[in-house]
Structure 1
Amino acid sequence: MRLTSLEGKLALLLALVALAAAAVAAWAARAFDTAGAGILVAAVALVAPLLAAAHFAARPVIALLRALAGSVTAFRDGDFSFSLHNSRRDELGDLVAAHNELGRVLREERQHLFQRELLLDTIVQNTPTALLLVEPGGHIVYANVAARQLLNAGRALAGERFDAVVAAGPPALAQALQRGADSLFTVAIDGEDETFHLTQREFNLQGRRHRLVLLRRLTRELARQEVATWKKVIRVISHELNNSLAPIRSLAHSGRELARKGDGERLATVFDTIEERTRHLEGFIQGYARFAKLPQPRIEAVGWRQLLDGIGRHYPFRLAGGLPDAPLHADRAQVEQVLINLLKNAHEAGGAADAVEIAVLDHGADWRIEVRDRGAGMSETVLAHALLPFYSTKRSGTGLGLALAREIAEAHGGRIALANREGGGLQAALNLPKAARA
């Protein structure tokens, strides 16, 4: 036991009190000739000194405990600036030192947290991706600079109703939000078409369900991808032409030699091979020409049952819901080509064949034809590039199917959109106007 410890100080105080009591009792016993009188006198004489000693010993401890209580209350309220003066060398001094160290650590942690929050807010505010956080009641609680510029002409959005902001925006945004999954949509801004990628996520924040909405511009990225795609097209065409022209040139030379020698039997084989390579090259070129020279659609009234029965002979599907009574006004052959391409992709997506379905929906001024599957869906990268010409993730794919579908849809005054489905799979939505706009 250390003499400077709290235990040592109390023991020393009690020892002094005991010695003083013994001395007074001995004096009183001699003075009054009885032990009882001596004890009584000693007890009466030591009451006041004992009270004074107890007050003297407890006063600094009580003051310190009060200071600690006030400091802990300040910590609870988030004020970590308090520290206590420490001049004691006992256990209470150790407690004060620990308290001061705790305050220092909390101050540093709060400063680091503030700096990290400031860095995060700076990054979020200046990112080109528009970001909105919507609370369960439907009010916007956070919107960065890009979101304010895109949806509210740079004005604040916090506190606004999210559905009111969406209603005042382009219809394509509202349609993309209704789909409830990641998707692409295009809107006209300052006379230029801008393509956006929409992402929606829900999560718990402070015990409440919030929705995070991200809008990312893809126009520049798509433009860069288109340049890269055209370079790829040139390489593909050059490679295919070389693969056909080189053997044709060689066979032509061989045929000339065989003709000079009069070897007609072998000459026929050379001509057959040249014809086969020429036919292959012709089919290759025509496939690309069909995409590059898509004819203007010939609009006519097409019955829905007639249209779907025609494509059902190529790829089976299940009809989800009924069919409208009003006909579709479109180029039947081109729309059939789009739906056949979409059904082909749906059957090749890896899901069950009986899960492939088509739904025809009345979407205001448009008819909306949805082709759905339960396959693997698409990653965000593939979703962003799937409609580009010659972009394909298939080993033997040409990358023309979805690009041609987009060209046909836009030629009709409509559009095509891809989105992953909840529960797995992909939804390809073909929107065509009820009144022909081609």
Structure 2
Amino acid sequence: MRKKSLFRRLLITVCLLFISFSALLSYYHQYYSEHPIALLMLTAGTLSLLIGAFRWHLTPIRQALSALNSGINSLKDNDFSLTIYDQQYQEVNSVIGIYNELTTILRNERMDIFQRELLLDTVIQSTPVALVLTTDSGSIVYSNLAAKELLKQPQIIGSNFFDIYQQLAPALQTAIDEKTNGFVSDVIDEQNIIFHVNCQQFMLNGREHSLYLLKNITTEISLQEANMWKQVIRLISHELNNSLAPIASLTRSAKKIIENPEHVHMLNDVLETIANRTDHLHQFISQYAKFAKLPKPVISQVELTPFLQQLATLIQVKCEINVSSQYAELDAAQIEQVVINLVKNAKESGSDEQEVGVDITQQANLLTFSIYDRGSGLTDSQMQQALLPFFTTKSTGSGVGLALCNEIVTNHGGKLRLANRQYGGLCVSFSLVLA
């Protein structure tokens, strides 16, 4: 479509006015040249025509500016539905086009945001985790169905959270008051109830808000405990059978040797083998007892240089140390045991011992230990279960060592991280806050 032009419109207006004024002036000179009143009337008429013509000429601009003003006010009110009709005048066409394009983009983005919010709200309402969002004064501004069921309130938005959570377990109330993050257990009607509580604070629309996430995990924990006990029983039964079967066989052999004195020289070997199997069984049971009785770390200020030098001497693999701090707060004996166990695992991974190493580095206030090898690494399923107690990839392993290391690190405020290395091998690392 050909664009219209306000300049062309003005030019036509001026030409028509000039022609009209010339015709009127010629008419005046021909018939009314001696009448000044007629001249005044002619002048007034000409001015009226001129004003009317210019108003007619400026009408598209006034309409466009008025529409833009209305549109901008609509944008200020978050209304993106107004579209300006484009009269195809090239002088204002680009401005109107930009406005219409902008409103289309904003309208589409608002629709996308609305759809995402609807999807997010559907997910949040369906989750079994009770979610409560409050202002700094405790007024609830958002919640989901699980929160209403937990608090036994059909409508809680607008209520004060700290006024309606009294029916919760006392330990859960304390966790909410103290904004605890972690597991909380209590006894209700002689039944042990376990909740996972997560409390976070953040700024929203310039105001401080608190988000509370509460989930009853009693059933999940019970199932996990049952599965764990079954696995422990299977492992212990398997290990006992592996030891008791040869012991029983050797005992029968010992009886036959005693009945036949000419073979008495073989009795010592039989008894030695029985003793070895008994020692192995004792060590196996001791490992499980050690895992169950792991003491809490005794945190103290440790001088890092002698501690790390002693650690490097103990592990007897290449050790790179890049630490600038002089002191750290940790249980030196437990952290030393963690590194020794992880290095032992790395050596038993099938890696060349020359490829096993330890890096100890410092980044800001974090002390990081990384133990690496060039073994076979772990599959995705093994990676997911590697830190679970009693899970092992070794034919003779008990599955306790890595879980024990993880518990020690967790008690120090960290967590073991496992990652397969490029070109093969595994890297196990953990970070501790220096102070």
Q: TM-score range by the shorter chain?
A: 0.5 to 0.7
Structure 1 stretch displaced more, 17-26 or 84-93: 17-26
Matches of 1:3 and 1:217, distance apart in 2: 68
User: Quick one: structure 1 residues 28 and 200, their matched pair in 2 at CA, closer, same or farther if it must change by over 3 Å?
Assistant: same
CA apart distance, 1:226:
1.9
User: 1:142 is matched with which residue?
Assistant: 142
User: 2:159 matched to 1:173?
Assistant: no
Show the counterpart of 1:333: none
Confirm or deny: 8 A CA contact 1:28 1:41 kept in the other structure. Answer: no
> Residue by residue, what CA displacement relative to the aligned partner does 1:125-162 show, whole Å, maximum 9, x if unpaired?
231111111211232222222122212x2333333333
Could you tell me which residue of structure 2 aligns to residue 430 of structure 1? none
Cα distance change of structure 1 residues 285 and 88 upon mapping to structure 2, 3 Å threshold? closer
2:233 is equivalent to residue 212 of structure 1 = no
Tell me if the contact between 1:25 and 1:41 (Cα under 8 Å) persists in the aligned partners.
no
Distance 1:263 1:419, change over 3 A: closer
Provide the rounded CA distance (Å) in 2 between the counterparts of 1:402 and 1:167: 37
SS in 2 for 1:262: helix
Q: What is the SS of the residue equivalent to 2:60?
A: helix
Query: 8 Å contact 1:131–1:143 — kept in the other structure?
Result: yes
What is the one-letter code of the residue matched to 2:267? L
Change in 2 beyond 3 A, CA 1:350/1:19:
farther
Question: Which range moved further: 274-283 or 41-50?
Answer: 41-50
**Quick one: distance in 2 between partners of 1:76 and 1:98?**
17
Is the CA contact (8 Å cut-off) linking 2:389 and 2:400 kept in structure 1?
no
1:120 aligns with 2:105: no
2:82 aligns with 82
Q: Which residue of 2 aligns with 1:432?
A: none
From 317, 327, 334, the equivalent of 1:348 is 334
CA deviation map 1:52-78 (0-9, x unaligned): 210111123213322321232123212
TM-score, scaled to structure 1: 0.58
Q: Which amino acid aligns with 1:137?
A: S
Report 1:61-210 matches (<5 A).
61-151=61-151, 153-177=152-176, 180-189=179-188, 192-210=191-209
Cα deviation per residue 1:312-349 (whole Å; 9 max; x = unaligned)?
Answer: 9x98566xxxxxxxxxxxxxxxxxxxxxxxxx999636
Conservation of the 8 A alpha-carbon contact between 1:142 and 1:158: yes
Deviations 1:389-419 (A, max 9, x none): 9699x9544979999xxxxxxxxxxxxxx99
After TM superposition, the structure 1 = structure 2 runs for residues 376-387 of structure 1, keeping only pairs within 5 Å, are none
Contact 1:346 1:375 in 2 (8 A): no
Deviation at 1:7, TM superposition (A): 3.2
Residue number in structure 1 paired with 2:47 = 47
The TM-score, its normalising length taken from structure 2, stands at 0.59
**For the residues of structure 2 that align with 1:87 and 1:316, how far apart are their CA atoms?**
81
SS in 2 for 1:128: coil
When structure 1 is superposed on structure 2, of 80-89 and 124-133 the one drifting more is 80-89
State the number of aligned residues.
Answer: 330
Alignment check: 8 A CA contact 2:131 2:212 kept: yes
Mapped partners of 1:95, 1:287: distance in 2: 79
Q: Distance in 2 between matches of 1:31 and 1:272?
A: 149
- 8 Å Cα contact 1:183/1:419 also seen in 2: no
- Closer, same or farther in 2 for the Cα pair 1:425/1:226, shift >3 Å? same
Residues 175 and 184 in structure 2, CA contact (< 8 A), matched pair in contact too: yes
Partner SS for 2:78 = coil
Which amino acid in structure 2 is aligned with residue 154 of structure 1? Q
Instruction: Give the structure 2 partner of residue 323 of structure 1.
Output: none
1:267 is the counterpart of 2:253: no
| Aligned: 1:226 with 2:225 | yes
1:411 match? none
Comparing both chains, which one has the higher relative contact order based on Cα–Cα distances under 8 Å and sequence gaps of 6 or more? 1
Task: State the distance in 1 between where 2:206 and 2:336 align.
Answer: 38
Segments of structure 2 that go 5 or more residues without pairing to the other structure are 34-39, 301-329, 338-365, 369-384, 393-397, 415-430
Q: Which amino acid aligns with 2:334?
A: E
Q: Report the CA distance between 1:119 and its aligned residue.
A: 2.2
Q: Following the alignment from structure 1 to structure 2, what is the Cα–Cα distance between the partners of residues 77 and 146?
A: 35
| 3-state DSSP of counterpart to 1:348 | helix
Identity over aligned residues, as a percent?
A: 34
